[in-house]
Chains A and B, each alone.
Chain A
């Protein structure tokens, strides 16, 4: 008993010492974040609010830091969580760069007037169709909507012609999605832009009726593979990523592309932008230039993310269906509206 008591007292002592340390640390923005963004062109450190996949951005960051010596701190979150956070933070935002999986959240920050212009030479690396006409942010990668289905449960002729068919009664209980994810919300925003509000509302109602909600696209695909559900509406690269690893979550799964400019053939542009309030804008612009440049895009082509490369004439990973064969509908990325989409999905009871 004596021994334990003194051991506990020891813990208390150590804890008190630690408190002293934190009390000092608390005064400045803590941790190894970007508190000391020293000036000068393209040096120092930046903070990236990252809604892209952590592993992909980490590959970019590691290559970028190795080349430039600029230290990058990441804050991980979802598209709209981070866009709304940046808007609430306003001028005080610690973010220098914002990366997303999709574009609606970029538009939201742009509309709040918080983005600086993207440097000309960065924009020059990205084809116009993958960037908004305003030049306030740029596409950095793309991802295609796809219906993955379990080939033991569905035959090819049972597949829907259009994504809109999934709202029909015969699909009740048969398909899955991850409605809380930014990916899915981007698909809905494309639907909203292509077909209008009442059609979208109708479709979401049907979805609430018919679909099973999973948390995350990979989890939804895993469910299709296990036969819990026949099909799932997700993005293409979850399938290719799993195939490239062990395939254990996709061995029974086949991807089906809607094509024909269907809303379900939507090609979503991942975005990147530099915040006006950035304390190290030069380094931030440099980072954006790097990821849209040859080396950054080759990470997409050769890496394990299986997202589409779109800039600097780097072709897509050769395992993927080429972009020109996807027959994606034409949607102006700058028009995609995330707030309206979350409202509609909240009304439909999906959120």
Chain B
């Protein structure tokens, strides 16, 4: 649960016209200094992993990395990714195409339903599946659960792009004699490239980071093994070496995504209004298409919801009177709000530089954060625990440190939204306000900040969603006595108290649902740029 739909840096940000920049509210240097500090801070976890690898000593490190157990984990993780990512791409694109490009009955409803599984945290999904089939375990179950949990990460951007694609190219292709299928593969699919590589990256990062879902079905990946090592040794060399391998994988994924995204331009050039895409008639395929979508949403969303409700009914009134219930809800809410606000504030300098002063400097600042936010929560948390105990014991086990971890993990969600918002707030307005005699700071607050507020709120909502479902970093870093919905759910379900866990699962889904809808709506807007 490290990253989100809009995490990877999108190519090309729209910026306002050329002219001279308006005077920034606090001076460029102040904003830059802030951004640099944030970037440096976000490199702490990477530095920690590198430091621990060196400090462990070459021989010990090699011994811990080159052992059969790591080979097992490697194989598990690779097989999981090799099966799940293509499956997610297939389901995501098929769903998006049906919803956006065919005369599918009820396509408006299906469009939303296909995004809905994202509101079910993967570990809740796993819990439901284990309730349905108690013997679930191992690789196949891992593939099943993660595919059902993560295919919307491909579907949402794919659907957004499809709905915005200029049909003129397809029509030209058709006019030149290409059939529907060949048009799809030779014309439509290539234009989905950015959406698909981005979606695949997100699925990959989620697979690397997921803990709860896989622990519940006894499927070991690097993240579950790091957690196991952590519980056995707190901060042992073996766990840290596993973390370094995991970080290596995350970086590989990032590089792979950047490379496969390519440099081709997909935006439409020229004036005029884009034509509306034609919807393909389905004829005899209408029924199979309906059944396919029904099966998919039933398995990915219906089943978890059904089992959560079943456990709630089985548990009766007792499970709602538990005294831990309200504090968990309250602290989830507080951390969600605090984390969302902090992340948005921290993202601002970076977004500002990226939009108003684009260049290698702002790019590298952003990149440093993408690297960190691609790391699993557990690695960031391990780094924070160790660094804070040794160097700043005052912040150890404070709410502040946990919020700081959330900020690092979820910054891109706020950043991408803020950037889009800032880009739409023309700097000329700021200039005009300054020319009319407003001091820079006031002009900035009255004009730019106000225009950016909706985008900032959208980003904050996404961060809130991520925090509400975060498990590993919360388990490791939370202040004494803190319980969140996610940690309570986890503690109950690992004691096989499935009924007691159910209300927490339901609440997490209820909290996530509106945010997922928002994400779905936002993606359509962003794709239009």
Contacts and interface: CB of A to CB of B under 8 A. Distances in A.
A19 B460 CA distance: 12
A8 B453 contact: yes
Contact of A92 (B134, B135, B396, B496): B396
Contact of A342 (B233, B331, B341, B398): B233
Majority secondary structure, A binding face: helix
Nearest to B464: A15
B481 A8 contact: no
Interface in A18-33: 18-19, 21-23, 25-33
Given A76-B491, A80-B231, A88-B389, A213 B218 contact: yes
A9 to B, nearest CB: 5
Given A180-B228, A180-B231, A213-B218, A74 B480 contact: yes
A337 B72 CA distance: 27
A16 B496 contact: no
Contacts of A33: 397, 479-481
B157 to A, nearest CB: 21
Contact of A8 (B229, B397, B457, B480): B457
Nearest to A89: B389
A47 B480 contact: yes
B231 A18 contact: no
A199 B358 CA distance: 65
Given A29-B397, A349-B67, A349-B72, A85 B234 contact: yes
Nearest to A75: B480
Interface residues of B, number: 58
B398 to A, nearest CB: 5
Bin chain A's interface residue count: 35 or more
Interface in B296-354: 331, 334, 337-338, 340-342, 344-345
Contacts of B216: 215
Contact of A222 (B134, B403, B479): B134
A185 interface: yes
Contacts of B495: 216, 218
Most buried by A among B67, B69, B338, B345: B338
B399 A22 contact: yes
Contacts of A214: 218
B305 to A, nearest CB: 23
Given A29-B479, A228-B135, A346 B458 contact: no
A12 B220 CA distance: 39
B400 interface: yes
A222 B496 contact: yes
Contacts of A75: 480-481
Nearest to A1: B454
Nearest to B68: A349
Nearest to A62: B323
B446 to A, nearest CB: 14
B274 interface: no
Contacts of A81: 230-234
B494 interface: yes
B456 interface: yes
B461 interface: yes
A78 interface: yes
B134 to A, nearest CB: 5
Given A25-B400, A180-B232, A342-B236, A73 B481 contact: yes
Contacts, number: 169
B454 A19 contact: no
B482 interface: yes
A26 B400 contact: yes
A34 interface: yes
A11 B481 contact: no
A14 B461 CA distance: 11
A31 B479 contact: yes
Nearest to A214: B218
A295 to B, nearest CB: 21
A212 to B, nearest CB: 8
Interface in A202-244: 212-216, 218-219, 222-223, 226, 228
A15 B135 contact: no
Interface in B362-414: 386, 389, 393, 395-401, 403
A216 B341 contact: no
Contacts of A15: 337-338, 340-341, 344, 457, 460, 464
A212 B215 CA distance: 14
Nearest to A216: B494
Contacts of B425: none
Contact of A12 (B234, B238, B398, B457): B457
A249 interface: yes
A33 B342 CA distance: 23
B348 to A, nearest CB: 12
Interface in A27-76: 27-34, 47, 54, 73-76
Given A22-B342, A81-B232, A351-B228, A11 B460 contact: yes
Given A30-B399, A94-B480, A218-B495, A84 B235 contact: yes
Contacts of B134: 222, 226, 228
Interface in A141-180: 180
Contacts of B400: 22-23, 25-27, 30
Given A30-B398, A215-B494, A349 B69 contact: yes
A198 interface: no
Contacts of B340: 15
Nearest to A226: B134
A29 B398 contact: yes
Given A18-B341, A346-B238, A26 B72 contact: no
Contact of A9 (B234, B334, B341, B457): B457
Contact of A78 (B232, B235, B396): B232
Contact of A34 (B334, B345, B456, B480): B480
A90 to B, nearest CB: 8
Nearest to A32: B481
Interface in B435-467: 453-454, 456-458, 460-461, 464
A135 interface: no
Nearest to A212: B218
A11 B457 contact: yes
Nearest to B238: A346
Given A14-B337, A342-B232, A351 B238 contact: yes
A19 B236 contact: no
Contacts of A26: 395, 398-401, 403
A12 B344 contact: yes
A216 B69 CA distance: 20
A-B CB proximity, top 3 nearest: A26-B400, A84-B234, A8-B457
Interface of A: 5, 8-12, 14-19, 21-23, 25-34, 47, 54, 73-78, 80-85, 87-89, 92, 94, 180, 185, 212-216, 218-219, 222-223, 226, 228, 249, 339, 342, 345-347, 349, 351
Given A31-B482, A80-B234, 18 more contacts: A15-B338, A16-B345, A18-B338, A18-B341, A22-B400, A31-B399, A78-B232, A80-B231, A81-B231, A84-B233, A87-B234, A88-B386, A212-B218, A214-B218, A218-B495, A219-B496, A223-B135, A228-B134
30 contacts: A9-B454, A9-B457, A11-B457, A12-B456, A14-B337, A15-B337, A15-B340, A22-B338, A22-B400, A29-B397, A30-B400, A31-B480, A32-B481, A34-B480, A47-B480, A73-B481, A80-B231, A80-B234, A84-B235, A87-B234, A89-B389, A92-B389, A94-B397, A218-B496, A222-B134, A346-B238, A349-B68, A351-B228, A351-B229, A351-B238
